[in-house]
Amino acid sequence: MIDIEAAQDGFALFVEGRKVLAHSRRAPCVEIGVAETAVRQHRGSVRLHRRRAVSIPIRSYKVFANEGEFCALDFDGKIRMALRLEGARLRMSFSLYDASINFFRIRLAAFHDESIFGLGERFSHLDLKGRRVRLWVEERGSGRGAADHAGSRRVDHDSSCFPSPVFISTRKYWCAVDTNAHTIMDFSRRASTLIEAWAVPREIVLGIGTKAQAPQAEPGARGQGEAPELVGDMSSYLGRQVIPPSWVYDGAIIGVQGGMGVLQERAEACLASGSKIAGFLIGDWCGRAHPGGAGSGSDWTWDRELYPDLPRQIALLRSRGIRVLGSLSPMLRVDGEQYAEAARSLWCVKEGGRKDYTVTCSGSPHAMVDLSNPAAFAWLKELIKRELLGIGMSGWVADSGEALPPDAVLSSGEEAVLAHNRWPVLWARANREAIEDSGRLGDAIFFSRGGWLGSTRYAMAFWVGDRAPVKERKAGFASTIPAAISAGLSGAGFWQFDIGGAEQPARGKGSPTGLLRRMEMAAFTPFFRAEDFSGAGPAPWNDPSSMAMLSRMTEVFASLKPYHMAAAAEYAEQGLPPIRHPWLHYEGDSEVLGLSLQYMYGRDLMIAPSMGACEELTSLYLPEDTWVHLWSSREFRGGGVTVESPPGYPAVFYRSESRFASLFDAIRRTAKRL
């Protein structure tokens, strides 16, 4: 039921007894306007600014429909809002506004005692209450540490390749803003949330839990609660990712570069050590590790000199249970045949309307395929099917979905500044459809770095991008934990990070023990993948102790395959992300709300990764339950605990009531010793 109650010079709107909107002449709930957007670019960094903004405060209103589950309000004849209650979701849409409007702000009712999670991958703060967050798909900076490789700019810790205008509150509601525009979410006020978008949203959806008005559970209370149901409803609206192929749980996916001899050498070294290997990701399969990187290739096709007879080698490795993966982006180097074909067909993004828009990637000019052009979109899908799937590859990294210049010209006529955030969704869709068209769904996979609202319908797995191989909370390894949790509370189920880190000359390389710490965490996530060891100190095959670490942790990861698959199925069926915040299962325990450096994997595991290479004690918080320390079988009932966590033995606990308890205990007894 939607109720509108008159208030002093305004109104308050309630849904099932919960206040959603409040309007007065002093604090109007809707504001619209016109502003000029300025685009500034420097060394790959893009910043948008609004100038000469003219906002229209809408103070008067009229209710012209109020029918229980539907109501409509007209704000001074300048914009109309329709609200429709469908089950436990309130859908808000807007109409009858001038086409020139490109500034929109709405004020939603909020709660002073709530915690806010989500907004895609967030690397610094998990609880966003009290913060103002800018949502714009963008690269965070090479190296992801304090400065990029050129040392020219600081990293914006608020930026993300996968932001998403969707959040969830501990007061039992979620909100999704259906827009592609630059968006700002302002949670700094105690009793209201401000949503600002640089275009009027197509729709704003609020999910209101069926138990929204139930009294808060007592601290320490157990049980299913409402949080899982709420997250499941949110992910159902957003669209859920498909379950990854089962082979990804057979071991690590290891990145290699350097040619066929190196690939064969790495394969033999890993197998000889007893490491469990699911696949090798060949970074320079087409002559370069990424657009403009090392190598001679200029097209997305296999380099016959560097990898002679690659299709046969792929088949041979697959016969040994090892898949081969590659890399791909919608960027074309301008000295290649594929670019020449795209240029002749006018399939590239334009600059100024005529010439192809080129950007410099690692010293080489590249053009971008125009994903808004149906013919170009179809051509790119065929390229994927022919050049990767056609030679037997089982997956790839789909990079550079965030790279659309906001001042480009698109064949669709859409403003690039409004298409920019949608670009990674289109890029994921092209990759997904190529796999489906080839009949490889359930067998092949791709990893997306960029994302936005709607990406979960197409992206098969999200890749957090490179992290610095250092402990730094906002830029290093530690930042992957809030990133994983916030992505999960934004609808994403399948997520991974690169255990190799990223090369960062300004701060030095990581240590072998630091590499193991990242292996430890990867063993208790949906994917164990290392694209590049360049920033991780000695690569495993150059260091016997690191090779032993790789063997132990990949064995642990592979032994968890039944649990990995159960967690994946739970996401597909219920929408609960495999990597999840403890709040989802212990919402009555107020202590869990402040946890940001530990996480649950599935329903039964609690993991607190060690952040420091030399730290051999780990402190964490366990909600009230019966927990078993994985490596010692000691039982704990909850509260703050400290356990030994030497290299190879991370702080991992499982619920004694788990149906996988015997599997976890078997891992303790059989895992290789260091």
Question: Residues with catalytic annotation?
Answer: 399, 402, 466
CA atoms within 13 A on the CB side of 638: 13
Question: With contact defined as beta carbons under 8 Å apart, do 4 and 71 qualify?
Answer: yes
Q: Are β-strands 132-135 and 461-463 bridged in parallel, bridged antiparallel, or unpaired?
A: unpaired
Distance of CA 117 to the CA centre of its chain: 14
Structure tokens given for 477: 């390894």
Q: What is the 3 state secondary structure string of 41-100?
A: EECCEEEEEEEEEEEEECCCCEEEEECCCEEEEEECCCEEEEEEEECCEEEEEEECCCCC
Residue position matching structure tokens 């007879």: 309
Task: Decide: 437 and 385 in contact? Cβ < 8 Å.
Answer: yes
Q: Three-state SS across 154-171?
A: ECCCCCECCEEEEEEECC
Q: How far is CA 411 from CA 350, 370, 375, 458, in A?
A: 8, 7, 11, 23
CA distance 593 to 610: 20
- 364 has which bridge partners? 361
542 contact partners, CB below 8 Å, separation of at least 6: none
Residue 9 zone, left/alpha/beta (φ > 0; ψ -120 to 50; rest): left
11 membership: H or E segment, kind and range: strand 10-15
Task: Name the percent of the chain in helix, strand, coil, to the closest 5.
Answer: 25, 30, 45
Distance of CA 400 to the CA centre of its chain: 14
Contacts of 253 by beta carbon, 8 Å cutoff, 6+ apart: 277, 278, 279, 280, 281, 323, 325, 395, 527, 528, 529, 530
For residue 360, give every residue at least 6 positions away whose Cβ sits within 8 Å of its Cβ, in sequence order, or none. Answer: 292, 366
The residue assigned the tokens 């700094």 is 188
Phi, psi of 214 (to 5 degrees): -70, 145
Integer Cα distance of 409 and 354 in angstroms: 9
Ramachandran sector of residue 234 (left: φ over 0; alpha: ψ -120 to 50; beta: rest): alpha
DSSP code per residue over 117-156: EEEE--SS-S--TT-EEEE-B----TTSSSB-TTS-SB--
Assigned token pair, 619: 């402190």
Dihedral sign, Cα of residue 313, residue 316, residue 320, residue 324: positive
| Spatial CB neighbours of 508, under 8 Å, sequence gap ≥ 6 | none
Both structure tokens of 617:
């004690």
For residue 29, the SS3 value is: coil
